[in-house]
Amino acid sequence: MAKYIYEYKNWTNFSWQDKVINVVFGEVRLMQGKIIGQMNSLGFSAKEEATLTALTSDVVKSSEIEGELLNYDQVRSSIARRLGINTAGLVPSSRHIDGVVEMMLDATQRYALPLTEKRLFGWHAALFPTRHSGPYLIEVGRYRTGEMQVVSGAMGKEKVHYEAVKPERVKTEMDKFLNWFNNENRLDPVLKAAIAHFWFIIIHPFDDGNGRIGRALTDMLLARAEGSKERFYSMSGQILAERKRYYEVLQKVQHSSGDITEWLDWFFHCLKNAMLSTENTTQKILRKAEFWKLHEHTPVNERQRLVLNKLFEGFEGKLQTSKWAKIAKTSADTALRDIKDLVAKGILQQTHEGGRSVNYELADFKSE
């Protein structure tokens, strides 16, 4: 009996049971349309903000799946600069973060371009600018020439979870994959995204970075499915939340003889959950957009704009004068003046709690 899926002849002629995946697949396609519709009703800047939030989450979470924590503000700033989005509070970003961002933006913003070996090698080189993965020197910008095992456990007690395609077969397998990726036009692109992710991970063509590149390929095909550079949900964010199951399913289906139903079923449920969690974010962005539309002629200063935006983005705790002063980097007197001005304009109101310190919150507002 063949141990791994790639040991079967014609292993890439994948099969699946339509009746198992049809319902969730239909739901995903419906939700995609709904989210795009919601987003298109937003103004330009709110749409930009939603894209910036989704892309930042994608980059940060995709690295976190591999156990690497990137600085959120640096990632956000790097993306904003590259997309020309004018946003407050930009910070300098490291060369490593810029590399990861470049890969993700190449995949999502230039989604219609063919995927070539040269392009993949460029992504790989961008992920590892120092040619190191942690302390280890790795082969960068080329397919691996060594064996590849996914192993866990202490030395002497290692457990092999997966043994990838032999190095001498990698180029042939990748040529076949790239040909399919660029020329297979009969499959629904969302279904294609699910298959591409699995197929690429099975080949494991690089020394390191296979997971992140596999997820970038998924995002690229999802962008094609939507015909849009704008990203409104984060698949990587959801994979991180379901990481344990992600690895379990991959591990199980890598031993199948070609039926990948279980993988597709998991992938579509994960995608559906990613879209559900984006609905909360969308509500916040919509509400913020409505607010500023209502107050486009209300005079507010930069400090007030900064703190009001913070209130819409999920503010932690209570808003008090001291907190306002800290966020706006100003004196307590100025903070109190700013707050009183907004109370007078009906934008903020005092909360009804007793106690020594006075708390404020956004007053209810109705858009026209």
* Contact (CB, 8 A) for 241 and 61: no
Q: How many domains does the chain have?
A: 2
The Cα 310–Cα 307 span in angstroms is 5
pLDDT at 134: 87
Distances (CA, A) of 204 to 24, 174, 197, 277: 28, 10, 11, 30
Q: Are residues 242 and 353 in the same domain?
A: no
Q: Are residues 282 and 142 in the same domain?
A: yes
Q: Are residues 211 and 323 in the same domain?
A: no
For residue 151, what are the β-bridge partners? 160
Q: How far is CA 257 from the centre of its chain?
A: 31
Domain closes at, from 287, 316, 344: 287
Q: Are residues 262 and 315 in the same domain?
A: no
Strands 132-133 and 348-350, bridge-based pairing: unpaired
In a domain, 368, yes or no: no
Encode burial over 258-286: b for 16+ CB neighbours within 10 A, e otherwise: eebbbbbbbbbbbbbbbbeebeebbeebb
pLDDT at 47: 86
Q: Are residues 212 and 326 in the same domain?
A: no
Q: Are residues 232 and 332 in the same domain?
A: no
In a domain, 292, yes or no: no
pLDDT tens column, 17-68:
999 999 999 999 999 998 888 888 777 877 888 899 899 999 999 999 999 9
pLDDT at 94: 95
Query: For the domain that residue 309 is a member of, what is the CATH number?
Result: 1.10.10.10
Domain closes at, from 267, 287, 307: 287
In a domain, 293, yes or no: no
Q: Are residues 178 and 224 in the same domain?
A: yes
* Contact (CB, 8 A) for 93 and 72: no
Q: Domain span at residue 310? A: 299-362
Q: Are residues 205 and 324 in the same domain?
A: no
In a domain, 49, yes or no: yes
Residues 6+ positions from 33 with CB-CB distance below 8 Å: none
pLDDT tens column, 55-72:
999 999 999 999 999 999
Q: Are residues 223 and 262 in the same domain?
A: yes
pLDDT at 354: 66
In a domain, 258, yes or no: yes
The Cα 301–Cα 220 span in angstroms is 40
Q: Are residues 203 and 343 in the same domain?
A: no
Q: Are residues 74 and 194 in the same domain?
A: yes
In a domain, 166, yes or no: yes
Structure-block tokens of residue 321: 């004068």
Domain closes at, from 262, 287, 312: 287
pLDDT < 50 stretches in the chain: none
The Cα 112–Cα 130 span in angstroms is 29
Dihedral angle computed from the Cα positions of residues 117, 118, 124 and 125, in that order, rounded to the nearest 10 degrees:
160
pLDDT at 269: 98
Q: Specify the pTM.
A: 0.84
* Contact (CB, 8 A) for 207 and 139: yes
Q: How many CA atoms lie within 13 A of 174 on its CB side?
A: 25
The Cα 251–Cα 286 span in angstroms is 40
Q: Are residues 22 and 52 in the same domain?
A: yes
Query: For the domain that residue 201 is a member of, what is the CATH number?
Result: 1.10.3290.10
Picking from 235, 247, 241, 267, the residue whose alpha carbon sits closest to that of residue 108 is 235
pLDDT at 38: 82
